[in-house]
Amino acid sequence: MFTKSETVPRPIDPAIADYVSRFDAAMSEPGNTISEARARYRQLLAEQGAPDEAVISRHLTIPTRHGDLPARLYLPHNAAALMIYAHGGGFAVGDLDSPDRVLHTVSLGADVAILSLDYALAPENMYPIAFEQCKDAILWAEDNRDLLGVSGPLGMAGDSAGGNLTALLSHWAANEGGPTISWQALINPVLDFLALEGEVRGSYAHYGASPMLSTDTMRGFMFSYFVDHAARVDSSPLHVIGDYSILPPTFVAAGQCDALRDEGICYASRLAVAGVPVSLSVYEGMPHNFITLTRFSESAQHFVEDFVREARRWAHR
């Protein structure tokens, strides 16, 4: 039904070669502390630059069972819906600034308010802290629409680790009577934390040494985030979701050269089989974390255009 894994790896987009080389060199330098890794990640992502056009945004603090959660609200005029967003970074790096450039574009282009969450990071805060903070934030947002200044349907989106949180939270809401999440967007999501156990296959085998996310890096993120194997299972949507038909319409964005690509394709296929409306796009030459490459790559820019279109279609239907 959807694209299957190729037999020969494809090359990354030449336009991003210099940036991703510098990214990998900086992030993999021996002896990096977690604080240094976070600082380098922020510095590298700052090269995205400011958004071409910006909407009004403001900072909020959301109370959760694990303490106050910083958040940023993007509020265009006449927002038709509210999207809650979780950033990527392997649950260990990243912050509100990581997706900021793209979120301004999506908020403005789709006329959607976006509540971006700065959940607590590992290894200081291991699973399920980030998940529970985001769950509390969804409940708070639904109860405080007047404070946020936006009505309309509620959706969720996230990239990488944030895509994992989005898939888990959408399933929680549908399966356990949470707020109605009417749409979700998963951007190069991690959906199977058991994929690196035993022999690696598919896109992990082809792109496990590709830029932005290697298998070694992925193992390091998992080691810092999970206390045991059971937690990995609980956090793997491809293993814990039994009934895909209860999930909302979904946009899945995958990088052609991303080790996680096949997980997104598999999830989209299961939604389609279950009769859930799903849109899948695989972006040519894109490694992991292509949401941060829009300044450098036309393929990454196409992703943003698709994100805006899909968000607008959801919010204004």
C-alpha span between 262 and 191 (Å, rounded):
10
| CATH numbers and ranges of domains, the chain | 14-315 (3.40.50.1820)
**What SS3 string covers 207-238?**
HCCCCCCCHHHHHHHHHHHCCCHHHHHHCCHH
Q: Label the pairing between strands 154-159 and 57-64.
A: unpaired
C-alpha span between 183 and 278 (Å, rounded):
10
Active-site pick, 98, 116, 160, 203: 160
Residue 28 is a catalytic residue: no
Nearest to 127 by CA among 224, 218, 194: 224
Residue 43 to residues 23, 133, 207, 211, Cα–Cα distance (Å): 10, 26, 25, 17
C-alpha span between 16 and 102 (Å, rounded):
17
Q: Label the pairing between strands 154-159 and 113-117.
A: unpaired
pTM of the model: 0.97
Cβ within 8 Å of residue 39, ≥6 positions away: none
Question: pLDDT of the chain along its 317 residues, tens only?
Answer: 455 556 568 899 999 999 999 999 999 988 889 999 999 999 999 999 999 899 999 999 999 999 999 999 999 999 999 999 999 999 999 999 999 999 999 999 999 999 999 999 999 999 999 999 999 999 999 999 999 999 999 999 999 999 999 999 999 999 999 999 999 999 999 999 999 998 999 999 999 999 999 999 999 999 999 999 999 999 999 999 999 999 999 999 999 999 999 999 999 999 999 999 999 999 999 999 999 999 999 999 999 999 999 999 999 98
Predicted confidence at residue 1, as pLDDT, reads 42
C-alpha span between 20 and 31 (Å, rounded):
20
Predicted confidence at residue 8, as pLDDT, reads 64
